Amino acid sequence: MKSIIEFQNSVFREGVNITVRKGTKWINKNPSNIIVLDKYIKKFNKLTTTELQLLHDSELSNYFKLLKEMKKYYLKFTENSVITVIWFILDK
């Protein structure tokens, strides 16, 4: 079943983008509004510099800014929270 992945801030870079989502809900879903290149699960505090630099919203490419934003949208979010990292391009 296809799902639509929603973005609080619909700002995207040209080419490859990354979004991070709390938990594992998106690991088995196939969003219909983006083309998924890769997705995997990891702890938030294990995000790499490359992953941060490719976030769809470049304003959040700083670890602490992203952490603050995640806490804003997800209750009880911590640096140890499990996230799904989704690499994608826009479906034009």
- Give per-residue pLDDT as tens, 34-87: 999 999 999 999 999 999 999 999 999 999 999 999 999 998 999 999 999 999
State the pTM of this model. Answer: 0.93
pLDDT band at 1 (very low <50, low <70, confident <90, very high): low
Domain that holds residue 21: 2-90
> In 3-state terms, what secondary structure has residue 45?
helix
The domain tally of the chain equals 1
CB crowding 58-88: b at 16 or more within 10 Å, else e: eebbeeeebbebbeeeeeebeeebebbbbbb
**Predicted pLDDT of residue 62:** 96
